[in-house]
Amino acid sequence: MKKFYSIVENKIKDALNACDYKVDEVVVSESNRPDLGEYQYNGIMPLAKIYHKNPVEIASAVVNVLKEDKFFRDVNVAGPGFINISISDEALIEFVNQDDYEYPQNNKLIFFDYGGANVAKSLHVGHLRSANIGEALKRLCEYLGYNTISDTHLGDWGRPLGLVILELSLRNPDWPFFKENYQGEYPKVEITSELLEEVYPYASSKAKEDEEYLKMAQAMTKRLQNKEKGIYDLWLQIMEVSKNDIKNIYDRLNAKFDLYKGESNAEDYVPELLHYLDKLNIVEESEGAKVIDVKKDTDTKEMPPMLLLKSDGGLLYSTTELATIFDRVKNYHPDEIWYIADKRQELHFTQVFRAAYKANITKDEKLVFAGFGTMNGKDGKPFKTRDGGVMRLVDLLDSVKSECLKRLNPEIEDNRDEIANILAIATLKYADMLPSRETDYNFDLEKFCDLDGKTGPYIVYSTIRMKSLLNKLKENNINYQKISLIANEYDKALILSLNKLDNVLNNAFNDKSLNAITDYLYELSTNFNRFYTECHVLNESDKDKQESWAYLTNIIYKVNKILLDILAIDIPDKM
C-alpha cells in the first residue's frame, strides 16, 4: 500500500536535511485549523532548542524549500513555527488513481487467544467483546500481511465440569459411566445443551450452600483431571454437545477459530512443564502449595506469586495457562501471542507472563495482554435479564435482531430474517468496537439500531448506497477508469479521508483497539453521503466529472468493504 502520510513526512524530512537540520522522525498530523492548511507539522520547536535558533526562522527556511515542490498547493508558517500544508489537486489525483490497497505478506506469526468460552455453560454477554475484538484484531493483522492462528481456549477442565458431572451422576446413578469395572463401549446418552444450561447453574448454586456437595464436586473434578475411565468418557460426550453449541453462536458472530483447544489440551504438557521448571530451581513451596515468585524491583504495588500447584497437587488455572504458552511456543513458534480478555484479568496474565519470561519459555514482549472494558446496560449497570441473571448471548442477539427486523424497509419481502440477522451483528459489533478497547460502555438497543448517527446500521446502509450507485452506473453503461479532476469540497473531502487509511490501520494495530477504524468508517460514510447528496453522479453532464465521481465512489466502496470485513460485518444487498 502506498502510504500518503509517509510521502508528506519524507518530503518534509528532505527539506529539513536540505536546510542542514537532521531529524530521526517527522510526524505530520491532520490540521486542527483547516483554514490554514490540510495538514500540519509541529516539530520545529523541539528542533529550535537543539540548534539554538528562532523556530520561525527554521520553519521559514523549510517552507521555502517545500514551495518548490509541485506536490504542495500551499505551505505556510503560523504562530511560533507551525508549518501548515495543503496538497495540490494533481498530487491528490495521482495518489487516488494508484488504487493500491494491498499490504505485502510478511513472515511474522501472531497467535490469538480470544473467546474464552466455558464448556457446559451458556455463552453470556460477557463473551461478546472478546469474540468481536479478537476476531477483528486477527482480521486486521491478516490484512496487514501477518500470518495468524486463533484459538478460543475453552474452559473445559476445571471445577465447572466437576460440578456438572457430579450432578449428572446423582440424577442418573444407573449410567454406566459411574459403575466400577464396567466393560465395553459406553453408550451415547441424552445430553443436550438445554440440559447442561439447567444443570450447571443448579450445581453451582448448591455448591455454595452445601459444603459436602462442594467437596464431592472437587473430588469429581480430580477424577476427571486424572482421566478416570467412565468419568472421562462422559466428559467427551459433554464436550461434543457443548462445543457444537459454542461454535454455532461464534459462527453467528462471524468469529472463526483455527483451533478449539482448551485447558484439557494444556494439561497434557503439565508434567513436561513441571519437570522443566524443577530443573530451573524457580519453584518454591508456600503453605504446602508450589509457587513461582514473579515480583520485580520496579513494582509499585504488591505482586503475589503465581500459584503453580495446590497443596493437594491439584492444577490451577494459572498452571494450565502457563502450560498453554509452553505448548504454543513449542509447537507453533509464534512471534507474538495476543490475549484478548476482560481487563479485570490483568493480574492473572501479568503473573503468568512473568513466570513464562522467568522460565525462559518465551522472550519479553512476545506475550501481549489486550484487556477490554465491560459492556453494560442502558442504565450503566451490568447487563442482566429481567429476573436479575446474566443475559445469555443468544438472547441478546435475538433481541437486537427483533429490533432490526422492525426497522427494515417494509417493501422488502424476501430474506427479511437473514437481513435482520446481518444488521443485528453489525449493530452489536460496531457498538462494541466504537469505544476504546479498555473503556466500559453502555449498550442502548434503540440508539445503536438507529439508521442515523454512529451506528452499525448507518455504516451498512451507506455502503449499500455506494453499491447501489455503482450498479446503476453499470446499468447505464457509464464507465470509469480514473479521477481526472477535483470538482468541489465534497469530492475533495472524500479524497482527503482516503489518504488516512494506512494511518488508521496502523494506529489500530499499535493500540490493539478498533475504535480508530469505527471512527474512520463513520467519517468515510458521512463524507460520502454529503457527496452523494450534492454531486449527482448519474445525471452529471460533464463526462470528466462523472467519470471522476464514479471512480471515487468505487474506491470508497472498496475501502468500506475492506474495513467492514476487518470488523467481521457482512453487507446485505438491501435493507
User: Is residue 312 domain-resident?
Assistant: yes
Of 153, 118, 561, which Cα lies nearest the Cα of 340?
153
Of 330, 358, 344, 335, which Cα lies nearest the Cα of 272?
330
Domain identity same for 504 and 550: yes
State the average pLDDT over residues 287-304: 95
Q: Would the pLDDT of 387 be above 70? A: no
Of 483, 487, 489, 495, which Cα lies nearest the Cα of 550?
483
Confidence of residue 381 (pLDDT cuts 50, 70, 90): confident
Which of 219, 252, 285 is the C-terminal boundary of a domain? 252
Residue 536 and residue 545: Cα distance in Å, rounded? 10
Which tens digits make up the pLDDT trace of 113-124? 999 999 998 899
User: Is residue 209 domain-resident?
Assistant: yes
Answer whether 342's CB lies under 8 Å from 130's CB: yes
Domain identity same for 520 and 402: yes
Work out the mean pLDDT of the chain and round it to a whole number.
Answer: 95
Domain identity same for 478 and 428: yes
User: Is residue 388 domain-resident?
Assistant: no
Domain identity same for 238 and 274: no
Domain identity same for 195 and 128: no
Domain identity same for 73 and 216: no
Residue 207 and residue 158: Cα distance in Å, rounded? 14
Look at 326 and 122; give whichever has higher pLDDT: 326
Of 557, 548, 575, which Cα lies nearest the Cα of 521?
557
Q: How far is CA 147 from the centre of its chain?
A: 16
| pLDDT at residue 331, rounded to an integer | 95
CB count within 10 Å of CB 327 equals: 18
Helices and strands, counts by H and E, the chain: 21, 13
Residue 459 and residue 556: Cα distance in Å, rounded? 12
Angle between helices 193-209 and 211-225 (to 10 degrees): 130
Q: Where are the beta strands (DSSP E) in 153-247?
A: none
Q: Would the pLDDT of 244 be above 90? A: yes
Domain identity same for 45 and 174: no
- CATH number reported for the structural domain that contains residue 323 in this entry: 3.40.50.620
Domain identity same for 486 and 342: no
Q: Would the pLDDT of 385 be above 70? A: no
| pLDDT at residue 535, rounded to an integer | 97
Instruction: Tell me the three cell numbers of residue 471.
Output: 450498479
β-bridge partners, 86: 74
Whether the pTM exceeds 0.85: the reply is: yes
Answer whether 349's CB lies under 8 Å from 380's CB: no
User: Is residue 243 domain-resident?
Assistant: yes
Answer whether 243's CB lies under 8 Å from 121's CB: no
Domain identity same for 180 and 241: yes
Which of 208, 224, 252 is the C-terminal boundary of a domain? 252
| pLDDT at residue 1, rounded to an integer | 84
User: Is residue 382 domain-resident?
Assistant: no
| pLDDT at residue 468, rounded to an integer | 97
Q: Count of domains in the chain?
A: 4
State the average pLDDT over residues 540-548: 97
| pLDDT at residue 388, rounded to an integer | 62
User: Is residue 558 domain-resident?
Assistant: yes
Alpha helices, H only, 1-88: 4-18, 44-51, 55-66
Q: Would the pLDDT of 390 be above 80? A: no
State the average pLDDT over residues 357-375: 94
Which of 67, 87, 107 is the C-terminal boundary of a domain? 87
- CATH number reported for the structural domain that contains residue 11 in this entry: 3.30.1360.70
Look at 551 and 377; give whichever has higher pLDDT: 551
Cell 475533495, located at residue: 492
Q: HSE-up of 528 (CA within 13 Å, CB side)?
A: 29
Domain identity same for 139 and 263: yes
- CATH number reported for the structural domain that contains residue 528 in this entry: 1.10.730.10
Which domain does 350 fall in, by range?
Answer: 116-152+259-376
Domain identity same for 123 and 272: yes
State the average pLDDT over residues 548-573: 98
State the average pLDDT over residues 440-460: 95
Residue 237 and residue 483: Cα distance in Å, rounded? 61
User: Is residue 99 domain-resident?
Assistant: no
Q: Would the pLDDT of 62 be above 90? A: yes
Which tens digits make up the pLDDT trace of 466-521? 999 999 999 999 999 999 999 999 999 999 999 999 999 999 999 999 999 999 99
| pLDDT at residue 383, rounded to an integer | 77
Give the CA distances from residue 316 to residues 264, 302, 385, in Å, rounded to whole numbers and listed in that order: 12, 21, 31
Domain identity same for 429 and 560: yes
Phi and psi at 514, nearest 5°, equal -100, 0
Answer whether 296's CB lies under 8 Å from 304's CB: no
Which tens digits make up the pLDDT trace of 124-166? 998 999 999 999 999 999 999 999 999 999 999 889 999 999 9
User: Is residue 497 domain-resident?
Assistant: yes
Which tens digits make up the pLDDT trace of 8-49? 999 999 999 999 999 999 999 999 889 999 999 999 999 999
Instruction: Tell me the three cell numbers of residue 166.
Output: 457430579
Q: Checking DSSP bridges between strand 109-113 and strand 375-376, what pairing results, if any?
A: unpaired
